[in-house]
Amino acid sequence: MATIVAAPPYSSTATESANTGLMSWLTTVDHKRIGVLYLITALVFFVIGGLEAFLIRAQLAVPNGTVLSADMYNQLFTMHGTTMVFLAIMPLSAAFFNFLIPLQIGARDVAFPRLNAFSYWIYLLGGIFITVPIFFAVAPDGGWFGYAPLSTKQFSPQINMDFWVLGLQILGISSLAAAFNFITTIINMRAPGMHLMRMPIFTWMSFVVQFLVALAFPVITIALVFLQFDRFFGTNFYAIGAGADPLLWQHLFWVFGHPEVYILILPAFGLVSEVLPTFSKKPLFGYPVMVYSGILIGFLGFGVWAHHMFAVGMGPIADAVFSLTTMLIAIPTGVKIFNWMATMWDGDLRFNTSMKFGVALVGMFTIGGISGVMHSSPPADLQQTDTYFIVAHFHYVLFGGSMFGLFAGLYYYFPKISGRFMSESLGNWHFWLTFLGMNLTFFPMHFSGLLGMPRRTYQYDAGQGLELFNLLSTIGTLVLMLGTLFGLINLWKSWKSGERASSNPWGAPTIEWAIPSPPPEHNFDTLPQITSRYPLWDLKGAVVTHPTTVADEAGRVQKTAKQLGIPMPNPSILPLVTAVGVIVMFSGMLFTGSNMKLAVAIMIGGAVWWIAGLYNWLLTPLEDAH
């Protein structure tokens, strides 16, 4: 009988020593290491985005604050949004896509390992490209949504928005390449028996997200190309005087922007759907419905974009249609909330840090979701739009939802990633300070918003009843920063000296827990034969034969892929080389306004560089001949 037994009774320390050093990281094509790179980079950007938010809150702590100039304030709120969406939450999700998807479907790597490395390098370099200007006070200043015509040369003549227009196109390349890679991986690299309806729910939600990326990112790419052409070549796409539609940008942006919301939240939903069953010792309630509602959210996500635009006056029919679709999308989302509650109901609950973040997501996301349904009604939205009420809403879904889910996933999967537990005592501080800080920061914004305090405005006058709410929000940010500090210290200390974890420390049901922690380079000595949705729960007898930490410490050694005769991709520097060429080419664009010859020279140089890199890459076999 084919079993789930995938791990041999050996430890996994042998391969590690050969794979250390800077060069091994620059050339890695191992999905697990790339996942770790994503994780660390995204956390760095998360801290940068958090500090930007802190400066915003410092400015708003008291009426008519003088910490920042209006110009600097614009740069900070633009970069806070851009950083958190594109450089922190999406890549944190990508860290889990990379690390988990091949493990969860029983594959040895992603479909295109070098393309995967390329995605990471483009993300890192693009992130630096778009972040560095803030240190020279020339950062993008037109909002993370970059509304044209405000962002055109006429109204934003400086170089600031050029960084944004080019930076987002660069980051789009990374996301799109990753989407093609993961869609192919999930469709085509599932282990025998891993039918679609047996796939772990995190992989399912990731699958939906990759389709959203593949279909939504081209739209913003085109919107950005139009804006870039308008800014650099004097085209008329957003030139109102030439007859352009002032809503063209808004439509294109939100056709991308609303699916983007689900790109940010569905991975967190997936992670929580792994965490809650394990720590409730119950299968996920209504697995098929969870899958279908995820797919439905993906579909409907493309049909609700104009609810971001009720204030522009689209007319009663458009308003009514988008209002209804928005209410409709709340149904599959609500289904998920109820299914999580039903999963926990009567379960054998274990409230460790991971579970706390998971349960907090269910509560906090519900608050954000309900305020979201409130703005699906155009008359209500007209009162709320552009006020702090909206800021409160989307921080409840993005922080209370996405970030809490990602933190839950981090505490849950850290033992698999590193072979060590994260500290529960530090985790306790991390959770409670984050939970308190998040609510203290964002709950008062509901009130300041309903009192009419506008977003994106760097000062407010005293005597409008806004002082207390703003002060509370600012204090909340301090608590949040303290909580994040605990989280980072926990991560650092646990990585170095956390308690050793066995292959399946939580008693979890899915196959990534059947292999050693951390997994060997090739993940599975033999591809597992999947016989059910929760194989490690259903095949209890097989699970106990897996290696434990004790066996590792007894000195037995995991065989390498080579010893087992498993062909693995060779490390390659070419993805990094190619990515550098792409960035050089885009950087050339920045000079089009000041020095056309220099700009063209840099662009051609970058293009020749990356094309040479690409040909080299395509003509170099992935693996040694065998």
Q: Which residues bind other proteins (CB under 8 A)?
A: 2-3, 8, 111-112, 176, 179-181, 183-185, 187-192, 194, 214-219, 221-223, 225-226, 229, 233-237, 241-245, 248, 252, 255, 525-527, 529, 564, 567, 615
446 is catalytic: no
Nearer to other proteins, 105 or 398 (CB): 105
Tell me how far apart the alpha carbons of residues 222 and 52 are, in angstroms, rounded to a whole number: 29
**Minimum CB distance to other proteins, residue 611 (Å):** 9
109 is catalytic: yes
Nearer to other proteins, 425 or 563 (CB): 563
Nearer to other proteins, 436 or 561 (CB): 561
**Cα first-last separation, the chain:** 30
549 is catalytic: no
430 is catalytic: no
**Minimum CB distance to other proteins, residue 494 (Å):** 31
- Active-site hit among 32, 336, 395, 446: 336
336 is catalytic: yes
Tell me how far apart the alpha carbons of residues 205 and 217 are, in angstroms, rounded to a whole number: 18
Return the half-sphere exposure (C-beta side, CA atoms, 13 A cut-off) of residue 17: 4
307 is catalytic: yes
Nearer to other proteins, 1 or 22 (CB): 1
What are the residues facing 603 on neighbouring strands?
Answer: none
- Active-site hit among 82, 152, 175, 572: 175
- Active-site hit among 83, 206, 333, 502: 333
CB of 440 closer than 8 Å to CB of 471: no
**Minimum CB distance to other proteins, residue 289 (Å):** 24
- Helix, strand, or coil here: 349? coil
**Minimum CB distance to other proteins, residue 370 (Å):** 32
545 is catalytic: no
16 is catalytic: no
**Minimum CB distance to other proteins, residue 327 (Å):** 26
Tokens linked to 161: 């928005």
**Minimum CB distance to other proteins, residue 409 (Å):** 25
Distance of CA 624 to the CA centre of its chain: 34
Tell me how far apart the alpha carbons of residues 159 and 139 are, in angstroms, rounded to a whole number: 8
- Active-site hit among 32, 33, 307, 446: 307
- Active-site hit among 38, 238, 262, 513: 262
Nearer to other proteins, 150 or 222 (CB): 222
Q: Specify the residue for token string 């794979």.
A: 19
How many Cβ atoms are within 10 Å of 157's Cβ, its own excluded? Answer: 11
- Active-site hit among 144, 412, 458, 609: 144
Helix (H) or strand (E) holding 408: helix 404-418
- Active-site hit among 13, 221, 377, 455: 455
Q: Which of 423, 397, 407, 305 is nearest to 354 (CA)?
A: 407
Tell me how far apart the alpha carbons of residues 106 and 96 are, in angstroms, rounded to a whole number: 15
198 is catalytic: no
CB of 369 closer than 8 Å to CB of 333: yes
559 is catalytic: no
Give the chain's largest Cα–Cα span. Answer: 77
Alpha helix positions (H), 498-545: 535-538, 540-543
175 is catalytic: yes
**Minimum CB distance to other proteins, residue 243 (Å):** 4
**Assign residue 621 a region: left if phi > 0, alpha if psi is -120 to 50, beta otherwise?**
beta
Active site residues: 80, 109, 144, 174-175, 258, 260, 262, 273, 307-308, 333, 336, 455
